[in-house]
């Protein structure tokens, strides 16, 4: 056997017995590296006579070729084996343990809206909705709000540009939930008993005002409705909402364009450990606007005010939440701070029911 054949046999045996990629690399370097045995043979070709090169050249090149092929084949084999080994032993565990308790919470605004819906459902009220992008007629005109009313002032109302007018109506972000009164009366036959919770918008921002906030509207239209019905309804609602029997109301004459007469409703509170607690009548705070629906509003909706009467009320949902659950900065409601939500949020399974106490 020639030296070259011996070398080839040795190298092939080395390649065959390499059982790791590192061992195989060592064989490659020993053969084809700068100081490698095959590289050394290739270098000898430079000093050969042309005849010698003709016979030895193909043999040496053949050696290099066969060693390269054997190395590549063995490398592929080892890589496949390595991959198979990893596939067999490594696993991605997709069954991550569940957290101890559900992390998300129900926002106090959602919770209070659910509580209100529950309380009013018990009194026979349905929930109604209207668009947040409202036209001037529903938001103002039909509610008997004249051009000069402060709610129309540029600094209060978010108006859309004139070229976004619809049917000749300027569009606004609704400034209150009262337009849902109009939408309900124009689309539904009386008797009507609805509440309409939702987002409203005003260009105003400080500790007690945010440009977007939440209101709830109430509307009853029927025959022979009077202020007594209004007072009973609000009293029943506030007692259920604050979960106290000693809630005392005070009705004060007021002015809203869409009600006549109009009343502002105060609720009595006591100061306990420096905090206002609803109940008793140590002092008063305003919680609601309300009144008997104005004849002009009933007429604007195509109903005969000599046949149909009713009352309406409106209040801030965020404010009701603050009064019941003790937050003092409205802006935090909309910061999305997880710590605040963990502290003030409600368990998703805590569905408000009247029997269980709506805020339980
Ligand atoms: N829309 C009024 C506001 O945003 C609240 C209000 C007052 C609503 C009296 C009513 C009502 O339905 O009768 O300030």
Q: Is 312 in the pocket of ligand 1 (CB under 6 A)?
A: yes
Residue 352 pLDDT exceeds 80:
yes
Residue 327 has which token pair? 């937050």
Mean pLDDT over residues 181-205, rounded? 96
Average pLDDT of the chain is 92
Q: Locate the ligand 1 atom nearest the alpha carbon of residue 215 and give its number.
A: 4
Q: Which helix (H) or strand (E) holds 240?
A: helix 227-242
Q: What is the pTM of this model?
A: 0.72
Range in 32-36, 270-274, 309-313 the model is least confident about: 270-274
Ligand 1 centroid–CA 337 distance in Å is 31
Mean pLDDT over residues 231-260, rounded? 95
- Comparing 77 with 96, the larger pLDDT belongs to 77
Residue 252 has which token pair? 């004060």
- pLDDT band with cut points at 50, 70 and 90 for residue 155: low
Task: Indicate the SS3 state at residue 186.
Answer: helix
Report the pLDDT value the prediction gives residue 350, as an integer from 0 to 100. Answer: 79
Q: What are phi and psi of 146, to 5 degrees?
A: -70, 165
Residue 130 contacts residue 187 (beta carbons within 8 Å) = no
Cα distance between the two ends of the chain: 96
Query: Measured between alpha carbons, how far is residue 200 from residues 81, 180, 217, 328, 344 in Å?
Result: 66, 12, 11, 20, 22
Ligand 1 centroid–CA 289 distance in Å is 5
Closest residue by Cα to atom 7, ligand 1, is 289
- Domain coordinates of the chain in residue numbers? 3-89, 106-346
The rounded Cα 342 to chain-centroid distance in angstroms is 15
Ligand 1 centroid–CA 252 distance in Å is 14
Report the pLDDT value the prediction gives residue 355, as an integer from 0 to 100. Answer: 77
Report the pLDDT value the prediction gives residue 162, as an integer from 0 to 100. Answer: 92
How buried is residue 187: exposed, middle or buried, by Cβ count under 10 Å (0-12/13-18/19+)? exposed
Ligand 1 centroid–CA 345 distance in Å is 28
Report the pLDDT value the prediction gives residue 154, as an integer from 0 to 100. Answer: 59
- Strands 171-173, 192-201: pairing is unpaired
Residue 150 contacts residue 101 (beta carbons within 8 Å) = no
Mean pLDDT over residues 234-255, rounded? 95
Tell me the torsion sign for CA atoms 31, 36, 41, 42: positive
Mean pLDDT over residues 242-255, rounded? 95
Task: Kindly indicate whether the domain formed by 106-346 is annotated with CATH number 3.20.20.10.
Answer: no
Q: Is 256 in the pocket of ligand 1 (CB under 6 A)?
A: yes
Report the pLDDT value the prediction gives residue 151, as an integer from 0 to 100. Answer: 64
- Comparing 280 with 260, the larger pLDDT belongs to 260
Report the pLDDT value the prediction gives residue 22, as an integer from 0 to 100. Answer: 93
Mean pLDDT over residues 287-291, rounded? 97
What digits encode the pLDDT tens for the residues 7-20? 999 999 999 999 99
- Comparing 357 with 155, the larger pLDDT belongs to 357
Ligand 1 centroid–CA 281 distance in Å is 24
Residue 204 pLDDT exceeds 90:
no
Closest residue by Cα to atom 5, ligand 1, is 314
Query: Measured between alpha carbons, how far is residue 103 from residues 96, 348, 352 in Å?
Result: 15, 10, 20
Most confident of 169-173, 200-204, 216-220: 216-220
DSSP secondary structure string for all residues of 63-97: HHHHHHHHHHHHHHHHHHHHHHHHHHH------PP
């Amino acid at each position: 056997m020639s030296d070259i054949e011996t070398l080839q046999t040795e190298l092939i045996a080395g390649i065959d017995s390499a059982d790791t990629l590192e061992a195989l690399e060592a064989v490659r370097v020993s053969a084809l590296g700068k100081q490698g045995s095959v590289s050394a043979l290739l270098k000898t070709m430079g000093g050969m006579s042309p005849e010698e090169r003709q016979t030895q050249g193909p043999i040496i090149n053949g050696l290099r070729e066969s060693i390269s092929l054997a190395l590549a084949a063995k490398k592929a084999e080892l890589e496949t084996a390595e991959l198979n080994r990893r596939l067999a032993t490594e696993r991605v565990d997709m069954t991550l343990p569940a957290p101890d308790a559900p992390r998300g919470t129900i926002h106090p605004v959602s919770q209070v809206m659910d509580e209100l819906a529950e309380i009013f459902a018990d009194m026979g009220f349905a929930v109604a909705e209207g668009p947040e992008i409202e036209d001037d007629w529903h938001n103002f005109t039909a509610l008997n709000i004249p051009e000069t009313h402060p709610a129309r002032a540029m600094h209060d109302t978010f108006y859309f540009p004139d070229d976004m007018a619809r049917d000749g109506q300027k569009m606004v972000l609704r400034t209150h939930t009262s337009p849902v009164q109009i939408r309900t009366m124009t689309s539904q036959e009386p008797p009507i008993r609805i509440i309409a919770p939702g987002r409203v918008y005003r260009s105003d921002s400080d500790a007690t005002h945010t440009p977007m906030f939440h209101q709830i509207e109430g509307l009853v239209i029927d025959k022979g409705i009077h202020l007594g019905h209004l007072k009973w309804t609000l009293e029943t609602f506030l007692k259920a909402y604050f979960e106290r029997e000693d809630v005392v109301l005070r009705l004060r004459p007021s002015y809203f364009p869409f009600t006549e007469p109009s009343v502002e409703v105060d609720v009595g509170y006591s100061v306990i450990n420096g905090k206002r607690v609803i109940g008793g009548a140590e002092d008063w705070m305003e919680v609601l606007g309300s009144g008997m629906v104005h004849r002009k509003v009933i007429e604007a909706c195509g109903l005969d005010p000599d046949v149909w009467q009713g009352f309406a009320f409106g209040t801030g949902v965020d404010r009701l939440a603050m009064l019941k659950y003790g937050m003092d900065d409205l802006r935090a409601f909309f910061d999305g701070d997880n710590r605040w939500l963990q502290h003030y949020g409600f368990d998703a399974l805590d569905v408000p029911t009247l029997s269980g106490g709506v805020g339980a």
